Structure 1
């Protein structure tokens, strides 16, 4: 009788090689990103002369070919995005004080109208109406591949939720104390109701303009206000980190294609079961320790990942209202939460489970980063487990770059602070991104943005990033001993040959060094 499993394995292993661009384009892509051959070679695990050979016409094979193709595709995408952003910034800027009233935000301009700067190739007609990524109602056009209304009168995000016809039960907005006003200069919003009147803004889209150095201005003002008292200035800045982060988000979204929907309707799985309880989402937080070590004494280095939540801001975030679907299918153009049955994990002796530390069997709700991690490690490039089974999903059209300008502004400020030994700015920036993530769910400290889905996705992305660092350590010959939380993993071996040491977000720093196991007996 035919062994169908063996045939499937044969077919999986007979996949065609990943196509590569021309040798000239390979070199151009690397050089335009200002990457040296030694740096690229180090990441790919080859020698600089090998990279030079690839850029002269030789082709790699096997797994390294897939890695090189992945780098080239990513480089092409990054350069294309930077080119588009440069063209967008070249347009005439609006004054810094120009804000759109939250009660009447605008929808994307009709690209066929005279004088528009939108790329007509990015907008098209749909053969049949599809749900708008912003409001969920039928739309006849698509923008960048996502169904979306072009006329603000048609889109439900164009009017306040209080006057719009709801498409799903809206969560009540409890009356809460207004947040402390930010001391970062925030332009006044015209038409804003008096204080104390509950408001649910439809979105956070703002007009195009350059982003001023809000972080540097706030630090300078705080130091001046407290007569150079570093401790007092830091305390004041950390206290107002949340409203200042929201001000920075507003400025970073100027010119963005999509609204940041601040108070969307969310399904029950994303709602707390009680006042002090949790919702049903599993974030895959790791708490793993290697069950056994080889005989002998081992020197273990505990490594700390810098800016874990800051890096995790780059993740696929849903743009509009989440929509329900069923079936074992994943659409990479969408993001949200998924009910899955996770696969069995047979590598716990040396690598943590991508699903995190979970003892209970059966289906569970996971986030987009966790699902994508499972799908990737179960694919032919790694083959570490079976694919997860997807039962149902709540998703929306998504983009990985929604918070990218916000993340880069924080990262750049952090890098400057480290270079200048500026601990005030460093503490301020850390408080901004950490509190931003922790208060995205319904919080008394941040009434401007209720996105429990984003909070779970960003946290889960930090956990997924840590898992990949542990896998990289294992893949490069280190012995992984522990992996915990968002930013800590312990290894045995020459870790400096694998990771760069430092305080940058792409680097790691030593948290502790200790010994485990009994020394070998003397001969």
Structure 2
């Protein structure tokens, strides 16, 4: 291949971005067809806030840009066709093309080509009747026409609905439509429930997407102003989270006791003081490193509280019991004497940094962590001594649908660079956890025990990440709060990097220690 051949191949493979109309016209085209942002977003497989960003001046890229440009071009064509359709038809034009609407071309003899009414740069657009239906570029369903080479339904309302396959004797497009019986989709004989995708699951088509609806409404209310819409959504995150919880609890096996009686250990000792529950929040630093200089990576664990919603939660009012037996079918808080921990030189203590000796009240996740570490698989400590407990029958899946709904919305927001939905979802799950105690900001749910258990589950999850890093040969040097882990070594071989809930991000990279001089003993 010569240099010129390489250049020709490069030019042949290069793609120019499809031009888009100005931001103001984009919104006018959508509203001119009486389409909501949600309807358009669903057809383009993006979020309503993403469409709002496009209508505010932000441009899409890649394949979705081509689809959006195609929609705008089709919308412009459809709106431009309204006025000529209402005018009386003249059968004998005095000059070739004199009575054609601006931007149209005469149909070629012997073709099924229809004139497409448009304006501006789209005036040369052709609508061609297809002899064989092809998948619509917007919805994937069979379409009988194509515009500018792309198969599409001429009426956007047809997108997403099955159409009958045309026969060889189908009437030409210029003729009146066939009888209604032939135009409607085949009737469903099974009487089934229509479903649509919702993340990795399905949901019924009439089940509202509360998160997408709220985001779309906020953007409409604030004229597409992303910052103002985000601030408004964050302010209403608590009641919206409770509404989402109610929706995800429909058909659940268990009822939630929202305002149970609480024992004194779960009540504040003073008006502003804490209760007696120890959540085992880690604040650990490795006391010593081997000689040398090391590059330390501070990792940020994504969605710590969101992941912690999957934990064993008591269903009803807590009941008191004594003795050292742990019932895995129940969950609550426990008064224990923790075991000695002899691994502080390279792993954080499972109960966090606590100086006071003796018994303390811990949560279900902390107790289960200690019991697991004392078992034969790990053997890192002795079993804790259980003195008394306040527990109720429990399930690990009580908030699972709620968690999955938030996680799926978060994943979609990240994939679509939808910062509005991302901040809204983050506020929903973080404020849900922080206000479910005796808070004036959330009067629908008073479950202080749940608040402590979910927080402790986040701390236990971080401890297990520290243990995994250590077990895979990394040097763990710090563990802080719910989401911060500092390690030395090739951490990407252990943890996937990204913004997903199961991934980690880099928060900081720094150097610690002094290089060892040549010939110096190590």
**Fold shared per TM-score above 0.5:** yes
SS of the equivalent of 2:442 reads coil
Q: TM-score, normalised by structure 2?
A: 0.60
Q: 1:216 to 1:298 in 2, by over 3 A?
A: same
Aligned equivalents of 1:491 and 1:394: distance in 2? 37
Distance of aligned partners of 1:319 and 1:234 in 2 relative to their CA distance in 1, 3 Å threshold: same
Distance between the aligned counterparts of 1:490 and 1:91, measured in 2?
Answer: 56
How far has the Cα of 1:300 moved from its partner? 0.3
Whole-angstrom CA distance in 2 between matches of 1:336 and 1:374: 15
**Secondary structure of 1:453's partner?**
helix
The question of 1:492 aligning with 2:488 is answered: yes
Give the structure 1 partner of residue 364 of structure 2: 368
CA–CA distance in structure 1, aligned partners of residues 207 and 365 of structure 2: 29
Matched, 1:225 2:183: no
Inter-CA distance 91–210: structure 2 relative to 1 (3 Å threshold): farther
**TM alignment of 1:335-414, pairs within 5 A:** 335-414=331-410
Q: Which residue is equivalent to 2:459?
A: 463
Give the direction of change, closer, same or farther, for the CA distance of 1:211–1:328 in structure 2 (3 Å limit): farther
1:361-384 C-alpha deviation (Å, 9 max, x unpaired): 000000000000000011000000
Which digits, 9 at most, give the CA deviation of each residue in 1:58-104, with x for residues without a partner? xxxxxxxxxxxxxxxxxxxxxxxxxxxxxxxx9999xxxxxxxxxxx
The two structures have a TM-score, normalised by structure 1, of 0.60
CA–CA separation in structure 1 for the residues paired with 2:495 and 2:331: 30
Larger Rg computed on CA atoms: 2
Tell me the distance in 1 between the aligned counterparts of 2:441 and 2:223: 28
Query: Distance in 1 between the 2:433 and 2:411 partners?
Result: 20
**How far apart in 2 are the matches of 1:347 and 1:360?**
18
CA distance in 1, matches of 2:207, 2:444: 20
The aligned counterpart of 1:326 is: 322
SS in 1 for 2:324: coil
Residues 64-213 of structure 1 mapped to structure 2, 5 A cutoff: 211-213=207-209
2-structure distance, mates of 1:378, 1:244: 41
> SS in structure 2 opposite 1:467?
helix
Separation of aligned partners in 1, 2:318 and 2:486: 38
**CA offsets, 1:228-253, max 9 Å, x none?**
10000000000000000000000000
> Residue 246 of structure 1: SS of its match in structure 2?
helix
Q: Is the contact made by 1:480 and 1:491 (CA closer than 8 Å) also made in structure 2? A: yes
Residue 239 of structure 2 is aligned to residue 247 of structure 1 = no
Q: Is the 8 A contact 1:298 1:516 kept in 2?
A: yes
> Following TM superposition, by how much is the alpha carbon of 1:211 offset from its aligned partner in structure 2, in angstroms?
4.3
**What's the offset of the Cα at 1:422?**
0.4
Asked if 2 retains the 8 angstrom alpha-carbon contact of 1:214 and 1:248, the reply is yes
Task: Provide the C-alpha distance between the structure 2 equivalents of 1:209 and 1:502, rounded to a whole number of angstroms.
Answer: 31
Give 4+ residue runs of structure 1 displaced > 4 Å after superposition. 90-93, 208-211
Task: Please state how far the C-alpha of 1:212 moved relative to its aligned partner.
Answer: 2.1
Q: Which runs of 5+ in 2 are unaligned?
A: 1-189, 194-203
**Residue deviations 1:462-520 (CA, integer Å, cap 9, x gap):** 00000000000000000000000000000000000000000000000100000001111
Deviation track 1:407-440 (CA, whole Å, cap 9, x = no partner) reads 0000000000000000000000000000000001
Gap change, CA 1:296 and 1:372, over 3 Å in 2: same
Please, which of 300, 304, 312 is the counterpart of residue 304 of structure 1? 300
1:445 aligns with 2:457: no
Alignment of 1:472-487 (within 5 A): 472-487=468-483
Aligned with 2:429 (options 433, 458, 461): 433
Residues 463 and 405 of structure 1, relative CA distance in 2, 3 Å threshold = same
Counting matched residue pairs gives 320
Equivalent position SS for 1:212: coil
Task: Tell me the secondary structure at the aligned position of residue 218 of structure 2.
Answer: helix
* C-alpha distance in 1 between matches for 2:329 and 2:251: 22
Alpha-carbon distance in 2 for matches of 1:492, 1:506: 20
